[in-house]
Amino acid sequence: MMLSKKSAKVFFFGGTIVTFAMFLVMSFMTLTNEVPKRTHEENLSAEVIAGKKIWEENNCMGCHTIMGEGGYYAPELTKVYDRRGEGFIKAVLQSPVPWQPRGRKMVAYNMNDTDAANMIAFLKWVGEMDLNGFPPEPDYKSTKNNKK
Amino acid sequence: MKYKSQKIAYYFFALALLLLVLQIVYGFIMGFARVGYDGLHEFIPFNTARAVHTNLLVVWLLTGFMGAAYYIIPEEAEKELVSVKLAYVQLISLALVGVTAIVGYHFNYWEGRKFLEIPRPLDYLVVVNVLLFLGLILATLFKGKKRTTTAMVLTMGLVFAALLYLPGMIWFDNQTIDSFFRWWVVHLWVEGVWELILGGILAFLLIKLTGVDREVIEKWLYVIIGLTFISGIIGTGHHYYFIGTGKIWIILGGIFSALEPFAFLAMVFFTIGMYRKGEKKHPNKIALFWTVGTAVVSFLGAGMLGLAHTLPAVNRYTHGTLVTAMHGHLAFWGAYAMIVFAFISYVMPNLTGRKLYESRNGKLAFWLSNIGMFGMTAAFGVAGVAQVYLERKMGLEFGDVQKDIQVHFYVLIACATMFLTGVTYFIIEFLKYGKPNDEAIVEDNTVE
Ligand code: HEM
Ligand code: HEM
Ligand SMILES: [Fe+2]
């Protein structure tokens, strides 16, 4: 065989170093140029950050996805603020019994007004991000649903 | 086996199999919740079951890798492990941290970051544990007589995996940046450094099972892990399409991640090629089944089912749906669960001196678990594709669509039962071998 072990080794280390260097440069540019603009970092208020804490402490991501990441058991929440509005979400979060209009149970968080407001601020902030067109607009609208 | 200290591997495998059984139990809890039987909701809501299911998966796989390393490194370095006592300490503390985390998930003690739910205080204990493990491995390797490519690749994989855990421990206020670094752990693990661990174990098994010259096997090992990193590092971009990180990833992430299957394809050619080339056939056929199976199923689950949704135009629709769960199951099973099963199948006769590899149960374990897992993958896949069309194309409500696809979860549960039967046979075989003993020590286990 023509390929020697030594050249295979160079291929591995060389390829790794080159692509890793490219990766680091792209990551740096993303974090300094793109993310602040696309996520509207200026809108990261104390409420939004408090909302993110609640999001993490309760592992909402274990049932829901946000930006397409999480569990596949419950609705995608990236655009939920647009889709349902503040009052609806507040009712969900403050429900003392598991929220389940379609039969599948959410945890009953029974949140107080502050927590619910912070959570909503977080969801609103996420909904305003520029996500390259995710989630996609459906081609058709079902007559049965109440999406906007 | 050649060195007394290699016996420690057995206890890691025993723990790994125990955690696997628990993982499957939580899988069933979710499967039943999805068809409406959610009686445990009060105590084990879906997010708890999910966190336990996926974390147990990661922990048992890592436990399996550690066991493999404790067996491979002494043999490759030609030196007893530097301290067996500390290896036991490491095993027990690993089990304790793992169990604490899992129990905590039932009491809202976690961080809602998919796959990295372990709370930070426990993260520090994980770090200490892994440092102890790496210390033992590195000390043995560097005090040993030899530093083979196989041992170095395996060790590199383990060290990099530990380093990459760190970015996942930092808190960010911005959800996008949080997610950005979460992928440094999750993606760069499974599509990067874990493939070094996989490659190292695979090379070791092929050297032992086929008797092909080490130099040839290790040369191809470099090619495979080269392909892995060249495609996989920038391939991280396939998780950066839609999380607020910019267009460059749509182009480069798309191209590079579409190249990732080549590393898995190379692994198939490598494994089958070496098997054909080996003139002597090792009598442990069952180990060979699992070894070749690893290469083939990881190519299908990770390579082909990964490719199926990695292009941005497809991923925009499938992102975060059951299509991802389809791929996640077969990829983890084929690449990482099967390599641990392959290694266990290979070492048990060596550790115990009993040669039980002719048994019917061993073959049943292989076929039932694999056919079961393919069925599960198909069930997730059909449900996922239907979900994508109904929800993302037709604009139906999430909850209404879930009712339409519920039937596929009965299929999932049926196939999962078959899968579990296979795993049960595997565990029965494992138990039949009994404990490792010093009488099993021989000069060389390579095929004569
Ligand atoms: C053994 C290797 C692999 C394993 C264990 C694996 C496992 C997984 C898992 C568990 C996820 C879900 C992650 C999450 O949402 O947090 C995922 C996502 C993904 N994987 Fe893999 N994978 C592997 C290889 C690959 C390869 C080679 C490709 C591409 C060719 C690929 C393409 C993808 C894509 C595009 C996603 C994102 C899905 C989404 O948008 O929801 N994977 N993988
Ligand atoms: C045998 C019984 C099993 C059942 C019934 C089962 C079922 C499930 C379910 C229902 C989910 C959650 C999907 C959702 O969010 O809705 C899940 C997630 C997951 N399971 Fe399993 N599972 C089983 C075994 C396994 C095995 C053996 C593995 C690994 C080899 C595995 C790996 C995973 C992974 C990686 C995820 C996360 C997927 C993602 O986030 O994309 N499961 N499983
Ligand atoms: Fe990935």
Whether residue A45 is found in the same domain as residue A63? yes
Average pLDDT, chain A: 94
Contact A132, A50 (CB under 8 A): no
Tell me the average pLDDT across B317-342.
98
Average pLDDT, chain B: 96
- What is the residue range of B56's domain? 1-147
* Measured distance CA(B269)–CA(B281) in Å, rounded: 18
pLDDT digits (tens, 9 = 90+) for B414-442: 999 999 999 999 999 999 999 999 999 98
Give a yes or no: residue A137 inside a domain: no
Give a yes or no: residue A8 inside a domain: yes
> Ligand 2 mean position to A145 CA, how many Å?
29
User: B379 vs B410, B415, B416, CA distance in Å?
Assistant: 9, 8, 10
Tell me the average pLDDT across B333-337.
98
Nearest CA to ligand 2 atom 42: B329
- Residue B334 pLDDT grade (very low, low, confident, very high; cuts 50, 70, 90): very high
Whether residue A54 is found in the same domain as residue A69? yes
pLDDT of residue A48: 98
Tokens in use for B181? Answer: 């670094």
Under an 8 A CB cutoff, do B222 and A11 touch? Answer: yes
Tokens in use for A79? Answer: 């655009």
pLDDT at A144 over 70: no
Residue type for position A10: V
- Residue B143 pLDDT grade (very low, low, confident, very high; cuts 50, 70, 90): very high
| Residue burial A59-77, b: 16+ Cβ < 10 Å; e: rest | bbbbbbbbbbbbbbbbbbb
How many domains does the structure of chain A reveal?
Answer: 2
Give a yes or no: residue A46 inside a domain: yes
State whether residue A129 is helix, strand or coil: coil
Give a yes or no: residue A95 inside a domain: yes
Residues linked to residue A70 through DSSP beta bridges, in sequence order: A65
pLDDT digits (tens, 9 = 90+) for B155-211: 999 999 999 999 999 999 999 999 999 999 999 999 999 999 999 999 999 999 999
How many domains does the structure of chain B reveal?
Answer: 1
pLDDT of residue A139: 87
Whether residue A94 is found in the same domain as residue A39? yes
- What is the residue range of A101's domain? 35-127
**Closest ligand 1 atom number to CA of residue B332:** 5
Give a yes or no: residue B394 inside a domain: no
pLDDT at A148 over 70: no
Mutation to probe ligand 1, out of B310, B322, B338 (largest number of atoms < 8 A from CB): B310
Instruction: Write the CATH number for A94.
Output: 1.10.760.10
Tell me the average pLDDT across B134-139.
98
pLDDT at B119 over 80: yes
pLDDT digits (tens, 9 = 90+) for B269-298: 999 999 999 987 899 999 999 999 999 999
Tokens in use for B383? Answer: 């449900």
User: B93 vs B8, B53, B133, B169, B251, CA distance in Å?
Assistant: 15, 20, 11, 20, 44
pLDDT of residue A147: 46
Instruction: Give, for B227, the enclosing helix (H) or strand (E).
Output: helix B214-235
Whether residue A50 is found in the same domain as residue A23? no
Q: Is B94 exposed, middle or buried (0-12, 13-18, 19+ CB in 10 A)?
A: buried
Tell me the average pLDDT across B62-75.
98
pLDDT digits (tens, 9 = 90+) for A31-85: 999 999 999 999 999 999 999 999 999 999 999 999 999 999 999 999 999 999 9
pLDDT at A1 over 80: no
Whether residue A39 is found in the same domain as residue A28? no
The complex's ipTM works out to 0.95
Give a yes or no: residue A19 inside a domain: yes
Give a yes or no: residue A108 inside a domain: yes
pLDDT digits (tens, 9 = 90+) for B349-407: 999 999 999 889 999 999 999 999 999 999 999 999 999 999 999 999 999 999 999 99
> Ligand 1 mean position to B202 CA, how many Å?
21
| Residue burial A21-50, b: 16+ Cβ < 10 Å; e: rest | eebeebbeebbeebbbebbeeeebeebbbb
